[in-house]
Structure 1
Amino acid sequence: MTEWDLRKLRILRTLAERGTVTATAETLLMTPSAVSQQLSNLSKQLGVPLLEAHGRRVRLTGAAHLVLRHAEAVFAQLESADAELAGYAQGEAGRVRIAAFSTAVPALVVPAVRALRRSHPALELRVREAEAAESYELLAAGEVDLALSLAAHAPSGADARFTRVPLLEDPLDVALPPGHALAEVPELRLADLSAEPWIFGGSGPWSEITRTACEAAGFVPEQAHSAAGWTAILALVEAGMGVALIPRMARARAGAGVVVRGLPHDRPTRHVIAATRRGAVSAPATGRVLAALRTAATSAP
């Protein structure tokens, strides 16, 4: 395959624009002999004559015009690459891959993506739903650039592989069936629900969160039904089969038949963080995405 010398191609292009070797040399701050030598070397590299005598001057051959036609396309592509690299250096372009747990996707990631599409359309975002364990495996392997998780399920701050960035304190509310006796009680406390049948997963993060919050309020919740997804949990609550703690980020999923109450005295809260590989937080594109996620967090329910 022919090796293309961009510097020599630029000299040939300048000659086509300026018309003479002398004018080309003046434009490029070279001597006429250096211009002639570079073009002679380019002709040898490409294996075709590029110049022919025309009186006391030279003119481009048909081969030279063919070479320039392709060279212009190369120069245009390089100009585009320069522009994209400049955008990347400023965080205006690039690709950022995000892994996030289920409730964070609609509450934080989607609003951030929408905002970035308006403000930085050249920034490409890839989203992958994943729970904490998988997210950090993907992050460590370099398959994603940001991982969103609950702080309780993230690697500790002492883990040298990652940098943790706080995003949101997400309060926990209680979901009650329609017509529940406590639905209208002022100053509702979690302990008021100690005798209720509870709905939460048999294992996993939400089971731990529910048990921990209830135990902090002084009781062990009776698990009447086991469900992990919010659609199933809220459907069971709406059917009058029990009560459940839900994160405020998931509150929008509750149907009109579910009564959702805050718990201002207990204030059970989960903390949402983003994490990057150590050192990657300073990457301009990643910084743009983190800023958009922080903005989305301030607007979250």
Structure 2
Amino acid sequence: METRRLRMLVELSRLGSMRAVADTLGTTTSTVSQQIAALSGEMGVPLTEPHGRRVRLTPAGRRLAEHGVRILASVEAARHDLAPEAEPSGTVRVAGFATAIRTHLLPVVSELAASHPRVRVLIREHEPAEALRLLAEDAADLALTYDYNLAPATEDPAVHTTALWTARWSLGVPAGPGTRTGPATEVFAHYAEHDWIVNSRNTADETVIRTLASMAGFTPRFTHQADSLDLVQGMIAAGLGVSLLPEATAHLPAVRIVPLAQPAIELRAFAAARRGRLDWPALTLLTSLLRARRPASTPGLRTAITPA
């Protein structure tokens, strides 16, 4: 049902003649007649009937006009509510990785509760591939994702990405004598015979490790997988392997963070939305607040460990 046709029917109910409707809406009488006839065809019932030299609404026409008043009012309210200059309101569905949610999104949600109480945020914790799939399925409005400078994500032309922050990543190894420092390839070569621990829900860090290991001349042996930094560090402390870790993360006494350079490893965080959706004021506001927020310290990727 086209709202333009419905508006003509409502005006006919109010004004009583097609000529008056045409004059009010700035069109011709024949156009009004054709559009109302088309509306009648869409509804499957006659909406007008002859009445002398004019027409009048049938009972079905009058009933539809009554609905039309409420429908057009709702459409107009929606138009004002969703206009770019409108006051942000509504529910924004966000899917993203844990660190972005915990250190960036949750403070913004608290801020919104005070400044824009009509904006509600629903949160689902997901790795980038999962979050982007929800975005494509229209099960999320905003995806918080990441990639690495040595493992860039594939661009999707249907998705608009906004850069949020970057974080340096290093190598987590068992603390003790013999820890190697220097260029990343030399550090990696020093641990070539160690087992390597990677993320259980994302392959980006595995790609980074493979890339640097190839530059260092060896093939890494991936053995353990975990999504929690608590668990990863526990594995490293237990001597089960080495793993990439955020450079600024708090670490266990039995774990040493070895900085990497030449090349450095950098995590890049993004906010992703389907193209055209950022015209929605609530989504625009949330994205701008996330972009403006700067981390107090370099964020990690997975759940950060809390020192005892």
Which interval holds the TM-score relative to the shorter structure? 0.5 to 0.7
Q: Given the alignment, which residue of 221, 225, 228 partners 1:223?
A: 221
CA contact (8 A) 1:96 1:124 kept: yes
- Counterpart of 2:241? 242
**Secondary structure at the residue paired with 1:200?**
strand
**Secondary structure at the residue paired with 1:181?**
coil
- Counterpart of 2:210? 211
Q: State whether structure 2 residue 279 is matched by structure 1 residue 282.
A: yes
Letter in 2 for 1:242: G
CA contact (8 A) 1:173 1:260 kept: yes
Q: State whether structure 2 residue 121 is matched by structure 1 residue 125.
A: yes
- Counterpart of 1:199? 196
Q: What displacement does 1:144 show?
A: 0.7
Letter in 1 for 2:210: R
In the alignment, the residues of structure 2 paired with residue 114 and residue 260 of structure 1 have an alpha-carbon distance, to the nearest angstrom, of 33
CA contact (8 A) 1:194 1:221 kept: no
Residues 258, 138 of structure 1: alpha-carbon distance in 2 compared, 3 angstrom cutoff:
same
**Secondary structure at the residue paired with 1:193?**
helix
Q: Which runs of 5+ in 1 are unaligned?
A: 1-77
Cα displacement string for residues 228-285 of structure 1 (whole angstroms, at most 9, x for unaligned residues): 3233221111223332112358x24x33432223224421123222210111123211
Letter in 2 for 1:289: L
Provide the aligned C-alpha RMSD in A.
3.3
Give the number of the structure whose alpha-carbon radius of gyration is greater.
1
- Counterpart of 1:168? 165
**Secondary structure at the residue paired with 2:271?**
strand
In the alignment, the residues of structure 1 paired with residue 236 and residue 255 of structure 2 have an alpha-carbon distance, to the nearest angstrom, of 7
- Counterpart of 2:175? 178
Superposed, 1:78-97 pairs within 5 Å as 85=81, 90-97=86-93
Cα displacement string for residues 74-126 of structure 1 (whole angstroms, at most 9, x for unaligned residues): xxxx9xx99x9599954543221111123333233233333333443432111
**Secondary structure at the residue paired with 1:194?**
helix
Letter in 1 for 2:292: T
Letter in 1 for 2:110: R
In the alignment, the residues of structure 1 paired with residue 112 and residue 254 of structure 2 have an alpha-carbon distance, to the nearest angstrom, of 35
- Counterpart of 1:273? 270
TM-score by length of 1: 0.60
Residues 146, 190 of structure 1: alpha-carbon distance in 2 compared, 3 angstrom cutoff:
same
- Counterpart of 2:50? none
Q: State whether structure 2 residue 133 is matched by structure 1 residue 137.
A: yes
CA contact (8 A) 2:81 2:87 kept: no
CA contact (8 A) 2:164 2:271 kept: yes
Letter in 1 for 2:155: S
Letter in 1 for 2:187: D
**Secondary structure at the residue paired with 1:96?**
strand
Residues matched between the structures, number:
214
Q: Which runs of 5+ in 2 are unaligned?
A: 1-73, 299-308
**Secondary structure at the residue paired with 2:207?**
helix
Residues 148, 237 of structure 1: alpha-carbon distance in 2 compared, 3 angstrom cutoff:
same
In the alignment, the residues of structure 2 paired with residue 120 and residue 220 of structure 1 have an alpha-carbon distance, to the nearest angstrom, of 54
Q: Given the alignment, which residue of 243, 257, 260 partners 2:257?
A: 260
CA contact (8 A) 2:209 2:220 kept: no
Percent identity (aligned): 24
Letter in 1 for 2:217: F
Greater helix share, structure number: 1
In the alignment, the residues of structure 2 paired with residue 120 and residue 180 of structure 1 have an alpha-carbon distance, to the nearest angstrom, of 54
In the alignment, the residues of structure 2 paired with residue 148 and residue 91 of structure 1 have an alpha-carbon distance, to the nearest angstrom, of 24
